Amino acid sequence: AENDEVELGHEATVGRISQEHLFYLMSRGLSEAEAMSLIVNGFVSPILKEIPLEYSVELKRLLEMSFEGAQG
């Protein structure tokens, strides 16, 4: 978006979790869900440090719920 006073930009990347990364973590004893959780949390961690605490807490909770559902 752009106007006389403000210019905004957005960049996002969407991709799949590497099968090689999953295989490596699973070969070290993690379940697939645990490995995926570790990878996603590693990706999201820097973002959580940049957003307000209440959003960070909620996002962590939603991610945990998402992975709990994937395990059971």
Given a cut of 50, is residue 54 above it in pLDDT? yes
- What are the tens digits of pLDDT across the range 13-28? 667 888 999 999 999 9
The reported pLDDT for the residue numbered 1 is 47
Specify whether the CB–CB gap between 56 and 45 falls below 8 A: no
Q: What is the DSSP letter of 51?
A: S
The mean pLDDT value for 38-58 works out to 91
Neighbours of 36 (CB within 10 A): 20
Tokens of 4: 């006389």
Given a cut of 60, is residue 66 above it in pLDDT? yes
Specify the pTM: 0.65
Domain boundaries, the chain: 19-71
Task: Report the C-alpha dihedral over residues 67, 14, 38, 51, rounded to 10 degrees.
Answer: -90
